[in-house]
């Protein structure tokens, strides 16, 4: 049996929008591993109960069940050492852990405030009440209040991307000449937004735009072909 990934979907089964699942899919492509995805909704807790928790990504690889995108990345690196490296050695793994944490805190946290109402609009009916309730509790505000000032808030969000601009001014990817897991950790956040929201996160003259474009084209346009909004 091939590798299987439980992948967050919207109302349409092929609208796949989790930033964490995108990281995992690109890591699998990078390793050249074939996989099948299972569309999963927020309230399908029973479907992944075998993993002992309630979030995706979850992968089944033979006898191994692994969840959490960072844990999956380290699992793939260690289980498939002869395939192209995701981290480029122990030092790279350590630095990538920081990039991953920065993406989780600064990017996921910044982007969700710009697109959360668009996420709600694309969810399967059975997920909507759960999503609204859990997120409004988390943010302490209605979803509509959170995105109301997004035209202003996106300006501050773009400023947080300055380290990425510094990086792409000197080299094509976080991984150097070729993409690595640090690229996927950051790119997954932009792909999440593209798949679920028409709201423009970047301006065309931003050097981050070109970096994102090259990842949309990677692996024969794997991420670029996914259902989402045009950029």
Number of residues that bind ligand GSH (CB under 6 A): 12
Closer to ligand GSH by Cβ: residue 134 or 160? 134
Does 8 participate in binding ligand GSH (rule CB under 6 A)? yes
Does 42 participate in binding ligand GSH (rule CB under 6 A)? yes
Does 54 participate in binding ligand GSH (rule CB under 6 A)? yes
Closer to ligand GSH by Cβ: residue 68 or 206? 68
Closer to ligand GSH by Cβ: residue 57 or 228? 57
- The 3-class SS string of the chain reads CCEEEEEEECCCCCCECCHHHHHHHHHHHHHCCCEEEEEECCCCHHHHHHHCCCCCCEEEECCEEEECHHHHHHHHHHHCCCCCCCCCHHHHHHHHHHHHHHHHHHHHHHHHHHHHHHHHHHCCHHHHHHHHHHHHHHHCCCHHHHHHCHHHHHHHHHHCCHHHHHHHHHCCECCECCCCHHHHHHHHHHHHHHHHCCCCCCCCCCHHHHHHHHHHHHHHHCCCCCCCCCC
Of the ranges 25-33, 65-73, 168-176, 215-223, which one interacts with ligand GSH (CB under 6 A)? 65-73
- Residue 10, token pair as written in the block: 């919207």
* Residue owning tokens 């989790």: 18
Does 37 participate in binding ligand GSH (rule CB under 6 A)? no
Of the ranges 52-60, 139-147, 168-176, 179-187, which one interacts with ligand GSH (CB under 6 A)? 52-60
Of the ranges 48-56, 180-188, 209-217, 221-229, which one interacts with ligand GSH (CB under 6 A)? 48-56
Does 4 participate in binding ligand GSH (rule CB under 6 A)? no
Does 187 participate in binding ligand GSH (rule CB under 6 A)? no
Residues 84-113 interacting with ligand GSH (rule: CB under 6 A): none
Rounded CA gap, 22 and 188, in Å?
A: 5
Closer to ligand GSH by Cβ: residue 42 or 211? 42
Closer to ligand GSH by Cβ: residue 18 or 74? 18
Rounded CA gap, 58 and 4, in Å?
A: 8
Does 6 participate in binding ligand GSH (rule CB under 6 A)? no
Q: Which residues make up the interface to ligand GSH (CB under 6 A)?
A: 8, 18, 20, 42, 54-57, 68-70, 134
């Amino acid at each position: 049996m091939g590798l299987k990934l439980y992948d967050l979907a919207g109302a349409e089964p092929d609208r796949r929008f989790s930033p964490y699942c995108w990281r995992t899919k690109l890591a699998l492509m990078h390793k050249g591993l074939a996989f099948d995805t299972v569309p999963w909704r927020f309230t399908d807790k029973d479907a992944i109960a075998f993993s002992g928790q309630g979030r995706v990504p979850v992968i089944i690889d033979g006898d191994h069940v692994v969840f959490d995108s960072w844990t999956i990345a380290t699992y793939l690196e260690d289980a498939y050492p002869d395939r192209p490296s995701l981290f480029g050695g122990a030092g790279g793994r350590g630095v990538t852990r920081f990039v991953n944490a920065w993406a989780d805190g600064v990017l996921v946290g910044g982007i969700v405030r710009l697109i959360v109402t668009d996420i709600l609009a694309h969810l399967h009916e059975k997920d909507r009440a759960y999503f609204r309730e859990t997120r409004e509790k988390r943010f302490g505000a209605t979803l509509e209040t959170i995105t109301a000032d997004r035209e202003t808030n996106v300006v501050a969000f773009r400023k947080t991307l300055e380290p990425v601009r510094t990086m792409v001014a000197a080299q094509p990817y976080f991984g150097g000449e070729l993409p690595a897991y640090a690229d996927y950790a950051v790119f997954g956040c932009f792909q999440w937004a593209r798949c679920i929201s028409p709201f423009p996160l970047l301006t065309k003259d931003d050097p981050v735009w070109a970096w994102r474009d090259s990842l949309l084209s990677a692996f024969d346009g794997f991420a670029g072909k996914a259902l989402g909004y045009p950029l």
